[in-house]
């Protein structure tokens, strides 16, 4: 259904993402279809996501090593900061083929700027950064392939920027279009993955009896705490009826994904964190998070579903599995499960107000 597949133009999105020429905020039409086809065909195929498996494993090993060092010294670790840095490094390895530690700080500001009056300032900072990154890759391509910067690119082995530059003429995209797509990759890829990891660990610390039932903690975390609880606004393109309600063309439509995933008519004990609900044979085992079941749409559904879904899930799964496998987790001295504050701060994405600080203890097994 394409009736609600468009986006409403806004001053902030036009300013931040190059006149809404990215994937997330672009209105439905030829440009959006072209860009969507580009990223799904060249950037987020299953094969392409799998090609970053070794990079993910390497970044996980670095995180685990830091936690092991903290555990050996009986020190607490800042899970919020650590997961944000990890997710940022994973995205940078895919997009840039290198780490970019300072980018995590800029990304945190981006999601807040989406709901502030500083969009012009944010765009200037981001444009300067992205221009430098793209120019560096262009210079490298010219040195490798001659003055024109052309030449064949192995798209399964190349980073996202090199792939975008290699298909720029084929898809008729401009330099600003490339920068808009990259902004989506950085913002969505880093923020959502780190938030899911932090919230999953917070819920598991609040319910320690579930630490051994980790098979479906990912889906349950996304159900109870969708990082983008209102998804992104849609725009109706034609007059239509929805469940008896008349929706005129040009209406801004907000999808309350948070309320949908906590609807007691669809979910048993909807307000409780119960990963076991998704286990084989359980009440919600067959419910999918890929937009096929409308009671659970953390990544959206239909034509505007998040194209980076597989990339994000792979990032979350490998990190969460290693955190649970390699360590026992405790709370700082004087804290109990009931002291964990799950108060959220609203922005483009929803995050916990307080950082998650935990005390790791290594398992007897070796990671």
Residue 196 domain-assigned (yes or no) = yes
Summarised one tens digit per residue, pLDDT across range 254-289 is 999 999 999 999 999 999 999 989 988 888 999 999
| Domain-located, residue 101 | yes
> Between β-strands 77-78 and 357-362, what pairing exists: parallel, antiparallel or unpaired?
antiparallel
Say which range, 28-42, 114-128, 250-264, 334-348, has the weakest mean pLDDT.
114-128
Mean of all residue pLDDT scores within the chain = 88
pLDDT at 123: 84
Using alpha carbons only, what angle is made at residue 202 by residues 196 and 208, rounded to the nearest 5 degrees?
125
Reading phi first (left if > 0) and then psi (alpha if -120 to 50, else beta), residue 160 is in alpha
At residue 113, does pLDDT exceed 70? Answer: no
Q: Which domain holds residue 336?
A: 11-221+306-362
Percent of the chain scored above 90 by pLDDT? 67
Per-residue pLDDT band for 309 (boundaries 50, 70, 90) equals very high
Q: Is residue 6 situated within a structural domain?
A: no
Residue 320 has pLDDT above 90, yes or no: yes
Q: Is residue 36 part of a domain?
A: yes
- Cα separation values, 124 from 118, 132, 185, Å: 10, 12, 18
pLDDT band at 191 (very low <50, low <70, confident <90, very high): confident
Cβ-Cβ contacts under 8 Å for 355 (sequence gap 6 or more): 78, 79, 80, 81
205: CATH? 1.10.630.10
pTM higher than 0.75: yes
Is 306 assigned to a binding site?
A: yes
pLDDT interval class at 234 (50, 70, 90): very high
Identify any residues that bridge with 235 across adjacent strands, giving them in sequence order. Answer: 6, 252
Whether 228 is covered by a domain: the verdict is no
Residue 195 forms part of a structural domain: yes
Residue 310 pLDDT exceeds 90: yes
In a domain, 297, yes or no: no
Number of domains in the chain: 1
CA distance 219 to 354: 23
pLDDT-derived band of residue 189, with 50, 70 and 90 as boundaries? confident
Residue 104 has pLDDT above 80, yes or no: no
- Among 24-28, 117-121, 139-143, 208-212, the range with the most confident prediction by mean pLDDT is 24-28
Across 119-123, 143-147, 307-311, the highest mean pLDDT is recorded for 307-311
- Residues 90-101 have a mean pLDDT of 81
In the chain, the N- to C-terminal Cα span, in Å, equals 47
Flag whether pLDDT at 301 surpasses 90.
Answer: yes
Residue 55 lies in a domain: yes
The better pLDDT of the pair 138, 105 is held by 138
Average confidence (pLDDT) over 344-356: 84
Q: What is the pLDDT of residue 179?
A: 95
């Amino acid at each position: 259904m394409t009736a609600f597949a468009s986006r409403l133009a806004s001053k902030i999105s036009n300013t931040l993402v190059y006149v809404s020429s990215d994937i997330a905020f672009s209105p439905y039409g030829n440009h959006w279809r072209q860009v969507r086809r580009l990223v799904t065909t060249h950037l987020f195929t299953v094969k392409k996501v799998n090609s970053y498996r070794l990079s993910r494993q390497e970044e996980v090993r670095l995180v685990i090593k830091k936690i092991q060092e903290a555990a050996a010294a009986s020190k607490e670790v800042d899970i919020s900061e650590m997961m944000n840095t990890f997710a940022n490094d994973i995205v940078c390895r895919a997009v840039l083929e290198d780490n970019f530690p300072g980018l995590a700080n800029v990304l945190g500001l981006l999601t807040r700027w989406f709901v502030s009056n500083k969009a012009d300032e944010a765009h200037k900072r981001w444009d300067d950064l992205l221009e430098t990154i793209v120019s560096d890759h262009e210079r490298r391509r010219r040195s490798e392939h001659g003055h024109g910067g052309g030449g064949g690119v192995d798209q399964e082995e190349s980073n996202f920027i090199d792939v975008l530059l290699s298909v720029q003429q084929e898809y008729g995209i401009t330099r600003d279009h490339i920068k808009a797509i990259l902004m989506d990759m950085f913002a969505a890829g880093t923020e959502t993955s780190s938030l899911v990891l932090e919230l999953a660990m917070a819920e598991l610390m609040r319910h320690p009896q579930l630490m051994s039932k980790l098979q479906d903690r990912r889906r349950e975390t996304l159900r109870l705490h969708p990082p983008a609880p209102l998804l992104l606004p849609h725009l109706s393109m034609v007059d239509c009826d929805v469940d008896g309600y008349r929706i005129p063309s040009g209406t801004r439509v907000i999808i309350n994904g948070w309320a949908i995933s906590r609807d007691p008519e669809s979910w048993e004990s909807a307000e409780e964190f119960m990963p076991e609900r998704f286990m084989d044979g359980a009440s919600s085992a067959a419910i999918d998070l890929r937009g096929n079941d409308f009671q659970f749409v953390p990544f959206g559904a239909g034509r505007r579903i998040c194209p980076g879904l597989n990339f994000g899930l792979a990032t979350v799964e490998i990190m969460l599995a290693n955190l649970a496998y390699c360590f026992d987790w405790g709370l700082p001295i004087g804290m109990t499960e009931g002291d964990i504050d799950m108060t959220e701060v609203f922005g483009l994405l929803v995050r916990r107000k307080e950082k998650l600080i935990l005390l790791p203890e290594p398992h007897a097994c070796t990671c």
